[in-house]
């Protein structure tokens, strides 16, 4: 009975500490968020992982910080490859992708993007949203972000 009282008291103390400073408490836990695949401060890529899921940043058709040559097909292929590298670093792959969002500078590029995307991504394809955006933040035609499960996590 004494032991139980100690346990309950300890629990209440821990619980009230957690409630009184939720942000500090979260910061003390093991890190579950990791930054991956940085391509530098301007042409940044990368991703956050948490609880078995990786969220990539909007990933652009760059290699070593420079936008690649070529049109929508080449750029789409490069973005998919760049995301593959990020997913691999996170311990997963395109096979576990659940959702993508495709940002196109020009919706006229949709079918060409779709052709490359259809060929390079494994089936079943992740759920996808594709939109034309007024302007992408650089001189490129396509940007893609992805959410993927991390198996065995
Ligand atoms: C990118 O950088 C790596 C490492 O320096 C180099 O091996 C590779 O050839 C570069 N790729 C391109 C396309 O410049
Ligand atoms: C989008 O692409 C079409 C077809 O190439 C072109 O006619 C149009 O001017 C482009 N729109 C913009 C905003 O660049």
106 Cα: distance to centroid of ligand 2 (angstroms): 6
User: What one-character DSSP code corresponds to residue 43?
Assistant: S
pLDDT, tens digit only, all 153 positions of the chain: 444 444 444 444 444 444 444 444 444 444 344 555 554 443 445 666 667 888 898 999 988 888 999 999 999 999 999 999 999 888 899 999 999 999 999 999 999 999 999 999 999 999 999 999 988 888 899 999 999 999 876
85 lines ligand 1 (CB under 6 A): no
Distance CA 139, CA 136 (A): 7
**Nearest-5° Cα angle at 44, 42 to 45:** 165
Asked if residue 40 lies in contact with residue 63, where contact means CB atoms within 8 angstroms, the answer is: no
Nearest residue (by CA) to ligand 2, atom 13, is 106
**Domain covering 47-149 assigned CATH 3.30.1330.40 in the classification:** yes
* String of DSSP letters for 112-143: HHHHHHHHHSPSSPPEEEEEE-S--SSS-SEE
């Amino acid at each position: 009975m004494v032991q139980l009282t100690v346990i309950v008291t300890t629990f209440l103390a821990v619980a009230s500490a957690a409630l009184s400073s939720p942000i500090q408490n979260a910061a003390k836990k093991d890190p579950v968020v990791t930054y991956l695949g940085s391509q530098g401060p301007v042409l940044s890529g990368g991703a956050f992982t948490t609880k078995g899921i990786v969220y990539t940043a909007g990933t652009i058709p760059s290699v070593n910080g420079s936008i690649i040559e070529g049109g929508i097909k080449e750029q789409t292929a490069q973005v998919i490859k760049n995301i593959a590298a990020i997913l691999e670093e996170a311990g997963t792959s395109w096979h576990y992708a659940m959702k993508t969002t495709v940002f196109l500078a020009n919706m006229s590029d949709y079918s060409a993007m779709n052709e490359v995307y259809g060929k390079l991504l494994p089936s079943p394809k992740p759920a996808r949203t594709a939109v034309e955006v007024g302007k992408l933040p650089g001189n490129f035609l396509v940007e893609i972000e992805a959410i993927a499960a991390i198996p065995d996590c």
